[in-house]
Chains A and B, each alone.
Chain A
Amino acid sequence: MQYPHIFTPGRIGTLVTTNRIKYAATETNFPFGDGFVSDREVAYMEAQAQGGAGIVTTQGAYMDERGEGKGFKGMMAAYDDRFIPGLSRIAEVIKKNGALSCFQLLHCGREGGVDLDYCLMPSVVPQKLSYFKPPREISVSQIRQSVIDHVRAARRAVDAGFDMIEISGIVGYLLSTFISRYTNKRQDGYGGNIRSRCRLMVEVLGAVKAEVGKNVPVGIRLCGLELLDDRGGNTLEESLESFRIAEEAGADYLSVTIGWHESSVPVITRDVPMGHWLWVAGKVKEAAKVPVMMAFRQFTPDVPEEAIASGTIDFWEACRPMIADPGLPRKIAEKKESEIIPCIACNLCFSRLYFHQPLMCSVRPTLGHEGETSWGYRGFAPAGRKKKVIVVGGGPAGLQCAAVAAQRGHKVTLWEKSAHVGGALLLASQVDEGAEELLRPVRYLEDACLKAGVELRTGYAATSEALAGEEADAIVITSGATESIPPGAGALPVFSPGNIIAGGITPSGNILILGGDGVALGVAVFLLRKGGAFNLFIVEEGAKLGRDVNPFYLWGYMRRLKEGKATLLRGCRLLAIDGTRARVSGAKGETILDVNAIVAAQRKPADWWSGALQGSKKEIYVAGDAKRPRRLNNAIHDGFRVGITI
C-alpha cells in the first residue's frame, strides 16, 4: 500500500472508520430555498459517498425557523421534523456506500440572516464584507434558544439515520464570534476571558452530547488561527485553549481550521504552499487525546500521509479536492492518481456560494449533474453514430472536448500547433507563486485524452483550407483567442502576453498594457515579480480591473500592482500614438503618455477559420476563448458541453 497511514482504519468515539479520509462539509446551494433537500443534493452526496472516504459530512444545516442561522440561499435546514425525510435520503446514500455519515449543525452567525435584514452576533461589530447583513446583539434568551435549536436539530439528524454529529464554529459563524475577542465584547457570562467566550460552545456541545448519547460521536470544527491580528482577534494560545475546552466538554474529535472570511492574509490560495497550515493542527494535537483533523491546502495524498505518519493529524479532511473529484479516495487507493481531476484552488466554488448560485467547479463540469446520465459522471453511453471529429487547439477547451467526445466513442484527432498541449494555461502557470499547479489539469486532461483514444498531433497547425479538405463529420475550433493588436503603433514595439511570459522579453521604460482583464493583470504581475527598469501603465476601458479574476486572487494582484507603482487608468482608452507619445482619453479628458513599449492584452474571438468553413456540410463548433475570450472555467465547460453534444 502506497499510503499506509491514510488507509489505516481510524476511530471516532465508539465508531470505526475504514480509512483516514473525511469529506469535509461544504455548502452547495443545491437544496431548495426553503431548506429542503433536492435530488441534486442527494446525487452530489451519493457521489461523495461512492468516492471512498471513511467519513462523509453533510453541508451545515441551519436550525432556526426564522433563518437567523441561514447564511446561504440554498442552505439545508433542520429546524422542523418535516425536513427529516430529505435528511434521511442523504444518510442512506452515505451509509449504503460504506462510509460513516456525519451531520453538520451550523448557525452562520455573523454571516447569517441571508433572507433577513440583520444577522446575530454576541456584540455589534460592524461587517467588513459588504455581502453580510448588519449585526444585532443576540440576547441571553436567544442564546438559550440557540442551544435548544442545536439539540433538536441533532435529534432530527439521529432520527434521520446519521452516525455522528459535527458542530461548526469557524470563519465568522455564531460559535466562532463568541470565541473570538474581535467580535465578543459582552460583559455578561458569555464574554470576558477565553473560557467565558467558549461558554456557548461548551453549552451546545454538552447539550447535544446529552441528547444523542455516547454511541453517536459529536465532533467540533473550530478556528486554530484566526489571522485577525489587525482587528484584535484571538491569539494563537487562546485559539488552542478553545480546543482544550472543547475536548473537556466532550468533543469526540477536533477539526482545525485557519482564518476567518475577513482575514487579510492568504489562506487557501495557490500561493500558500500545500501543507502550510499543518503546524497549527500539530499544536492542537499536542494537547489532544481525541482525533485531530484538518483540511486546508492538502491537495495531494503525500501531504496528509506524511502528516498522519508524523502524528500531526489523525484524519485528512478533503473539501475542495473532493468537490473537484469525489472519487479522490478510491483513485488514490487504486493507484490511479493520474485520473484524479485536480483542484486548482481557483475558489470559483467559494465565490459562487456567496452570490447565491449553486456550487460550480472550473475543472469538473459534472458538479451538480451527478444524477443526470447525459453528463456522464459515471461514464457515457456510446454516441448513437460514431463520428470523425477534429479538434483544433490543445488548450483546456480542446482537451476537455476531445476527451469527452472520445469517451463517447467518437474517433477524435486533436491538432495542436505548438509542441505541447496546454494553451493559455502554459502562460498562466508562470504568472505568480504556486501558479504551476495550473499545469495539473493539463496533465490530467492529456492523460484522459490518451486513455480515451484521442490521437494527439502536436506541432500541427491548422488552416481553414486544410480543415475544409479533411474528411471529418465534425470540427471543433478551440484555438484560443486572437490577440487584438492596436492599429497605428508606428515604430513602438508591440508585444503579446506570450512574448512577455513565454518569450522572456522584458521591455524597458514606460510599458503601456492595453486591457484590464485577467490576462493584462497576469502580464503585469509577471513583470513585477521578474523586475526590471520599467513603469507599468494599465489602460482599461471599463471601470473595473480584473472582472474575470476571482476575488480571492484579485486583491493580492491589486496589492502587487500598488506596491509596484503601476499606474491604473480605468475608464480610459488609447486614442492614437504619435511617435512615442500615446494619447489616452479618460473621464478627466485626454492625457499624453510617453511610451516605450506596448503589451496588447486585449483579446478577441478567433476568426481565422470562418472563410473556408462557412457553409460547410460538416458540423462546426466553437468553444473556449476562440468563441469569446473568457476565463478557465468557461473554456473547460464550453469544451465539455460540445463534447457531450457532438
Chain B
Amino acid sequence: MLPVIDKTACTGCGACIEVCPPRALVLRDECACVEDEFCEECGFCAAECPVSAIAIPFPTLAGSV
C-alpha cells in the first residue's frame, strides 16, 4: 500500500527521505511527496516520521463492502 502523507502535519524535516530505499520521496514546498512510480511500498517512511504524518492505509473487509 502506498503511503499517504498528511500535508498539514508534515513539517518538511526530511526524516522519511533519508530512509527511503528507492529514493521515492522528495521535498516539494517543504512537504514530503511520494513518487508513486518508484515507491516500493516498504513502509519505512511511516515508521520514521516523528510527527506521524505518514499513514499506510490498511484495507478492512468492513470498509470494502
What per-residue 1/0 map shows which CB atoms of A82-126 lie under 8 Å from chain B? Answer: 000000000000000000000000000000000000000000000
- Contact residues in A for B64 (Cβ distance below 8 Å): 32
Q: Give the shortest distance, in Å, between B19 (CB) and chain A (any CB).
A: 6
CA distance A357 to B59 in the complex (A): 11
Contact across chains for A628 and B43 when beta carbons are under 8 A apart? no
B40 touches A633 (CB 8 A): yes
* Least CB distance, A349 to chain B, in whole angstroms: 12
The answer to whether A355 touches B42, judged by C-beta atoms less than 8 angstroms apart, is: yes
CA of A131 to CA of B46 in the docked complex: distance in angstroms?
11
Complex alpha-carbon distance, A614 and B42, angstroms: 33
Chain B residues lying within 8 Å of A543, measured Cβ to Cβ, are 18
Query: C-beta contact mask, B1-28 vs A, less than 8 Å → 1, else 0?
Result: 1000000000000000111111100000
Name B's interface SS. Answer: loop
Residues of B within 8 A of A28 (CB): none
Asked if A548 is an interface residue, CB under 8 A from chain B, the answer is yes
User: Are A630 and B56 closer than 8 Å at their CB atoms?
Assistant: no
Which of chain A's residues has its CB closest to B45's CB? A355
Is B18 a contact of A547 with CB atoms below 8 Å? Answer: yes
Q: Is there an interface contact between B44 and A355, defined as CB atoms closer than 8 Å?
A: yes
Q: Are A544 and B18 in contact (CB under 8 A)?
A: yes
A628 to B40, CA, bound (A): 13
A630 neighbours in B (Cβ, 8 Å) = 21-23, 38, 40
With beta carbons under 8 angstroms apart, the residue of B17, B20, B56 that contacts A357 is: B56
Cβ-defined contact, B56 with A34, below 8 A? no
Interface string of B43-55 (1 = CB under 8 A from A): 1101100000000
B19's partner among A131, A360, A544 (CB-CB below 8 A) is A544
A106 CB, nearest partner CB in chain B, Å: 18
Contact, CB under 8 Å: A351 / B42: yes
Q: Is the CB of A34 within 8 A of B62?
A: yes
Q: How many residues does chain B have at the interface if contact means C-beta atoms less than 8 Å apart?
A: 23
- Tell me which of B20, B43, B61, B62 contacts A356 (CB under 8 A): B43
Q: Roughly how many angstroms separate A548 CA and B23 CA in the complex, as a whole number?
A: 9
Instruction: Collect the chain A residues with CB atoms within 8 Å of residue B61's CB.
Output: 32, 34, 36, 38
Complexed CA–CA distance, A360 and B42 (Å): 9
B62 CB contacts on chain A under 8 angstroms: 32, 34
What number of residue pairs across chains A and B have CB atoms under 8 A from each other? 63
Given A547-B18, A547-B21, A633-B40, A33:B59 Cβ within 8 A:
yes
Q: Which residues of A contact B22 (CB under 8 A)?
A: 548, 628, 630-631, 634
Given the interface pairs A36-B61, A633-B40, the reply to whether A355 lies near B20 with Cβ below 8 Å is no
Considering the chains assembled together, what is the distance between the CA atoms of A628 and B58 in angstroms? 28
- B38 / chain A contacts, CB cutoff of 8 Å: 628, 630
Known contacts being A355-B42, A357-B1, is A34 close to B21, with CB within 8 Å?
no
Q: What is the minimal beta-carbon distance from A568 to any residue of chain B, in angstroms?
A: 14
Those of A345-368 within 8 Å (CB) of chain B: 351-352, 355-358, 360
Interface presence of A542 (CB below 8 A): yes
| B41 on interface, CB distance cutoff 8 Å | yes
Contact A355 B19 (CB under 8 A): no
CA distance A38 to B65 in the complex (A): 12
Alpha-carbon distance between A542 and B25 when the two chains are bound, in angstroms: 13
Answer yes or no: A74 CB below 8 A from chain B CBs.
Answer: yes
Closest to A357 in B: B43
CB-CB under 8 A for A74 and B58, given A355-B42, A634-B40: yes
Contact of B60 among A33, A351, A352 (CB under 8 A): A33
Most B C-beta atoms less than 10 A away, residue of A131, A358, A544: A544
0 or 1 for each of A434-458: is its CB under 8 Å from B? (1 = yes): 0000000000000000000000000
Minimum CB–CB distance from A258 to chain B (whole Å) comes to: 26
Q: A131-B47, A544-B19, A548-B21 are in contact. Are A356 and B56 (CB under 8 A)?
A: yes
Q: How far is the CB of B31 from chain A (nearest CB, A)?
A: 19
Q: State whether the Cβ of A73 lies closer than 8 Å to any Cβ in chain B.
A: yes
A469 shortest CB reach to chain B, Å: 30
Docked CA distance A630–B38 (Å): 10
Candidates B20, B40, B43, B60; contact of A32 at CB < 8 Å: B60
Q: Which residues of B contact A36 (CB under 8 A)?
A: 60-61
A367-384 to B contact mask, C-beta < 8 Å, 1/0 = 000000000000000000
Question: Which of A355, A544, A548, A631 meets B43, CB within 8 Å?
Answer: A355
Evaluate contact between A352 and B18: CB separation under 8 angstroms: no
Report the Cα distance A33→B44, complex, angstroms: 19
In the complex, the answer to whether B19 meets A357 with C-beta atoms within 8 Å is: no
Docked complex: A20-77 residues within 8 A CB-CB of B? 32-34, 36, 38, 73-74
- Show 6 A/B contacts (Cβ-Cβ < 8 Å), sorted by A: A34-B60, A355-B43, A355-B46, A547-B18, A547-B20, A630-B38
The 7 closest A-B pairs by CB, nearest first: A355-B43, A33-B58, A36-B61, A32-B61, A548-B21, A34-B60, A33-B60
